[in-house]
Structure 1
Amino acid sequence: MMKVLKKYRNSFLVGCIFISMSAFGQENQVLEEKAIVKVDSLYREDQFYFALSYNSLVNTPTGVSQNKFSSGVSLGFVRDMPINANRTWAIATGLGFTYNNFNQNLIVKEQNGVVDYQLIPADVSVDKNKFSQLSVDVPIELRWRTSNYESHKFWRIYTGLKFSYLLYDRSLFNGSQERIVVQNNADFNALQYGTYLAAGYNTVNLYMYYGLNPLFQKATLNGASVNMRAFNLGVIFYIL
């Protein structure tokens, strides 16, 4: 009898251990599944960005042309807000700063509070002639990407509008006979906006921006309005 009881007791203990291990394994599996769902449901592409661009002017008045290399730099942060279940589509907005300069042949002069514009005469030797702008930016974009929470190497296409408020501007003419500096020119549009596109793979992407409104709001050259707009082409880097 004792042998039989001992046999049943051992079988009972083995069964309890097996049931406990099975339940523990199922519990771990449930927890892992819950963890995966939780991580995936919180996944977003919040990013810092840094862009370098070549700046050109379009819709220029007759006689206005660019010379030398005109560059721009932008940096900021974008908040990502997914709009579909697998989080491949999103809208995003953020805050950033841009510094642009444009080398060209339009002299900006100011006398007694009046700003005047004229082309550089052909017989004048010029070392530098440009205007520069520093602005604060608010981008609003629609995003498509192939990313997920496990990998940050993916294809992307981001496009949208960027609104820029002018914080500071400076026009500089440095010639053989005189040096002219004009700052905070009220003829510039304080609010500038345009459309942009960023596309590529992983960290480095191509970037393009086109201004939808003119850089100047009331400048004239030889009686005609100066309606130049910015077109910037370069690369943009996204960093998580």
Structure 2
Amino acid sequence: MKFRFLYIIIFLISFSIYSQKDSLNIDDYYADDQLYLSVHYSQLSEQPSAVSKSNFSYSLSTGFIKDIILNKEGTFSFAAGIGYGYDYFSHELKVDEFNNETSFSTASDITNNKFKVHNLEFPLEVRWRTSTAKEYSFWRIYTGVKFLYNLSNKFDYTSSNASEISYKNVSSFNNLQYGLTFSAGYDEFNINVFYGLTPIFKNASINEEAINTKVLKFGLIFYLL
């Protein structure tokens, strides 16, 4: 099913880029519709006390954003988009699923403990930039919120007897998440931060302590016409 979403995104990106070519008229309103690509170094924040920070983890995403101009100069706008995101986390929380119930623990004898997530993304942004209808290289500051709808999640680890354990679409995973976003930079190259506001698990605990783990991402985002 996630590939169907990718086809829809590709179609919308192509339509957006084609439409934008006719909208960039000098001394007129213009849209800064864009394809975006991002790569992030990711961490799990607000981990329970029994769990340390995640190991090397990363995230990738792509999609497009449609511009709605708020002033004639085109320096302020509102933007809404759709995209696809992939997250890979190496972590220390042991996740097991039995009879549609998720349990959490820690174990020093497991290795290759990781989980992978495929999300549909819905970014909403308020934008400021120094662009004009004929100037494509400019400074920008974009901030907003991004909603994530989970398409699939998979948790894997290797047990002490070298058996590979895998669980897909665990029941405690929070399928709808959101967080704050901030981007700033010049031309295509921009720093980007995502600060998750919702826990990745719902109604989850370990040793009677609530698991409020959230996602934090630092990286680069590229905006392409």
Equivalent residue number for residue 219 of structure 1? 204
For residues 32-54 of structure 1, what are the alpha-carbon distances to aligned partners after superposition, in whole Å with 9 as ceiling and x for unaligned? xxxxx954324221000000001
* CA shift for structure 1 position 57: 1.1
- TM-score of the aligned structures, taking structure 1 as reference length: 0.80
Equivalent residue number for residue 19 of structure 2? none
Equivalent residue number for residue 145 of structure 2? 161
On the 8 A contact 2:55/2:89 being kept in 1, the answer is: no
Equivalent residue number for residue 201 of structure 1? 186
On the 8 A contact 1:52/1:74 being kept in 2, the answer is: yes
* Partner of residue 40 from structure 1, selected from 21, 24, 27: 27
Equivalent residue number for residue 190 of structure 1? 175
In 2, the alpha carbon distance for the partners of 1:210 and 1:185 equals 23
On the 8 A contact 1:212/1:229 being kept in 2, the answer is: yes
* CA shift for structure 1 position 116: 1.2
- Per mean C-alpha deviation after superposition, the further-off stretch among 207-216 and 107-116 is 107-116
In 2, the alpha carbon distance for the partners of 1:67 and 1:160 equals 26
* CA shift for structure 1 position 176: 4.1
* Partner of residue 86 from structure 2, selected from 99, 102, 105: 99
Letter in 1 for 2:158: N
Equivalent residue number for residue 217 of structure 2? 232
Equivalent residue number for residue 15 of structure 2? none
Letter in 2 for 1:201: Y
Percent identity between matched residues is 37
In 2, the alpha carbon distance for the partners of 1:104 and 1:78 equals 32
1:142 aligns with 2:126: yes
On the 8 A contact 1:66/1:103 being kept in 2, the answer is: no
For residues 127-161 of structure 1, what are the alpha-carbon distances to aligned partners after superposition, in whole Å with 9 as ceiling and x for unaligned? x1012211111111000000111121100000001
* CA shift for structure 1 position 196: 0.5
- TM-score of the aligned structures, taking structure 2 as reference length: 0.85
On the 8 A contact 1:83/1:91 being kept in 2, the answer is: yes
Higher Cα radius of gyration: 1
State the aligned residue count.
Answer: 201
In 1, the alpha carbon distance for the partners of 2:104 and 2:201 equals 12
Equivalent residue number for residue 77 of structure 1? 64
Letter in 2 for 1:234: G
5+ unaligned residues in a row in structure 1: which ranges? 1-36
SS in 2 for 1:40: coil
In 1, the alpha carbon distance for the partners of 2:132 and 2:166 equals 51
For residues 150-189 of structure 1, what are the alpha-carbon distances to aligned partners after superposition, in whole Å with 9 as ceiling and x for unaligned? 1211000000010111110001112441211111112011
Divergent runs of 4+, >6 A: none
In 2, the alpha carbon distance for the partners of 1:166 and 1:154 equals 34
In 2, the alpha carbon distance for the partners of 1:67 and 1:47 equals 32
Equivalent residue number for residue 50 of structure 1? 37
In 1, the alpha carbon distance for the partners of 2:125 and 2:203 equals 30
In 2, the alpha carbon distance for the partners of 1:85 and 1:195 equals 27
* CA shift for structure 1 position 212: 0.9
Letter in 2 for 1:146: T
* CA shift for structure 1 position 194: 0.5
In 2, the alpha carbon distance for the partners of 1:230 and 1:98 equals 13
In 2, the alpha carbon distance for the partners of 1:125 and 1:115 equals 18
